[in-house]
């Protein structure tokens, strides 16, 4: 007997967010496989134990992973675990922690964000220095962490060399480097390098590893790269509970992360989403009335078009305005975006532009 009535059209897909996508079938199967019987609650289960081995295979021996529910929780916990109450974080103005987390880092984490304007969402050592000053000045929050978003909120990807340069610069000033990796898999797929090459090997100290945008039902993880050298590993168990990110049935979070990372599902899904964005960008870049505004390096396409055309297009394919003042919009692709979805979007946009002309 079907106890749940399906309320949506499973063939309908939009371009608003990779969070709109459902759960990858392999992840759903992993959840089912982890079900049945009893496992110790709150992270003492066999799946969370095995997750440590899986994470070590990607980021190096000795790393420690703390599964959490969502990306905001992962970011707040990461930063909170290494900052005193007077600590501050240097980040790009467009960083997710600054633009889309409703002041959670400040209100929940109790820290201050020191933001820097960028043209492409990416920090550099010189840009970090715009806010990395004032140590010992009791009137200024102390800049102790640099936070990068990979990929950035503008869809661009830091190269391993760029991250290494920032890490070396930050460490030279006594600062730590945090990475918000909500779309870290898309970055690796775009760069064509292993995850470690632009994280642990490049000098990242703390990582918010993202899974939800790449096919998980829910679940991210805080990864401490060198726990023996950091106070974070000791603080995180307490902060995770205090911040309501401790799952009692943690095996189901860990099982999803294992399904994503133990094989190549993380890479397959990200490569597909990226390729759909590239297909979309190629299909619209020569249309009169469309101007792509950012490099398409992952699964996002940013473009400017007439607001009236955008509104009519949104009646068929949902997507978000990025900057209403300039007419800039964002189109996101996901692991389940199909070529037919992209081609139908391009065709409808072409039709509307022709009609408007």
Per domain, the residue ranges of the chain are 25-261, 265-356
pLDDT computed for residue 58 by the predictor: 98
DSSP 293: -
Sign of torsion over alpha carbons 261, 150, 173, 137: negative
**Which residues fall within 8 angstroms of residue 105, CB to CB, at 6 or more apart?**
75, 76, 79, 89, 97, 111, 113
**Which of 288, 280, 286 shows the shortest CA–CA distance to 330?**
280
Sign of torsion over alpha carbons 269, 69, 22, 35: positive
- 215: which 2 tokens? 């096919």
CA–CA–CA angle 182, 153, 10 (5° rounding): 65
pLDDT computed for residue 5 by the predictor: 86
Q: Round to whole Å and give the CA distance between 84 and 86.
A: 5
pLDDT computed for residue 2 by the predictor: 63
Its CATH class, for the domain covering 265-356, is alpha beta
Sign of torsion over alpha carbons 12, 293, 213, 56: positive
**How would you classify the pairing of strands 87-92 and 112-116?**
parallel
Q: Which residues of the chain have pLDDT under 50?
A: 1
- 94: which 2 tokens? 């467009």
Sign of torsion over alpha carbons 177, 273, 100, 223: negative
pLDDT computed for residue 1 by the predictor: 47
301 three-state secondary structure: strand
User: What CATH code is assigned to 25-261?
Assistant: 3.40.640.10
DSSP 96: H
DSSP 213: G
* Helix-strand-coil split of the chain, %, nearest 5: 40, 15, 45
Rounded to two decimals, the pTM is: 0.96
């Amino acid at each position: 007997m079907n106890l749940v009535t399906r309320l949506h059209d499973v063939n309908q897909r939009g371009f608003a967010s990779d969070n709109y996508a459902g759960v990858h079938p392999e992840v759903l199967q992993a959840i089912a496989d982890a079900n049945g019987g009893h496992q110790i609650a709150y992270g003492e289960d066999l799946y969370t134990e095995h997750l440590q081995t899986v994470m070590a295979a990607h980021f190096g021996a000795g790393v420690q992973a703390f599964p959490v529910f969502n990306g905001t929780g992962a970011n707040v916990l990461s930063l909170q675990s290494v900052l005193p109450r007077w600590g501050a974080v240097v980040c790009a103005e467009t960083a997710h922690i600054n633009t889309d987390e409703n002041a959670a880092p400040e209100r929940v984490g109790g820290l201050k964000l020191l933001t820097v304007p960028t043209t492409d969402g990416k920090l550099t050592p010189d840009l970090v220095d715009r806010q990395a000053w004032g140590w010992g000045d009791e009137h200024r929050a102390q800049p102790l962490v640099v936070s990068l978003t990979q990929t950035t909120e503008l869809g661009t990807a830091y190269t391993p060399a760029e991250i290494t340069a920032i890490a070396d610069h930050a460490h030279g000033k006594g600062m730590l480097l945090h990475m918000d990796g909500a779309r870290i898999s898309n970055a690796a797929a775009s760069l064509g390098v292993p995850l470690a090459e632009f994280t642990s090997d490049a000098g990242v100290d703390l990582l918010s590893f993202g899974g939800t945008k790449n096919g998980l039902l829910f679940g991210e993880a805080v990864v401490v790269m060198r726990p023996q050298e950091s106070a974070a590993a000791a603080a995180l168990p307490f902060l995770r509970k205090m911040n309501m990110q401790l799952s009692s049935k943690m095996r189901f979070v860990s099982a999803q992360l294992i399904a994503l990372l133990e094989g190549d599902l993380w890479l397959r899904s990200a490569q597909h989403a990226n390729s759909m964005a590239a297909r979309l960008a190629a299909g619209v870049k020569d249309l009169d009335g469309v101007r792509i505004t950012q490099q398409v390096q992952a699964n996002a396409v940013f473009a400017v078009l007439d607001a009236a055309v955008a509104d009519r297009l949104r009646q068929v394919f949902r997507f978000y305005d990025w900057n209403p003042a300039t007419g800039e919009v964002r189109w996101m692709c996901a692991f389940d975006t199909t070529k037919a979805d992209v081609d139908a979007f391009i065709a409808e946009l072409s039709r509307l532009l022709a009609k408007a002309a």
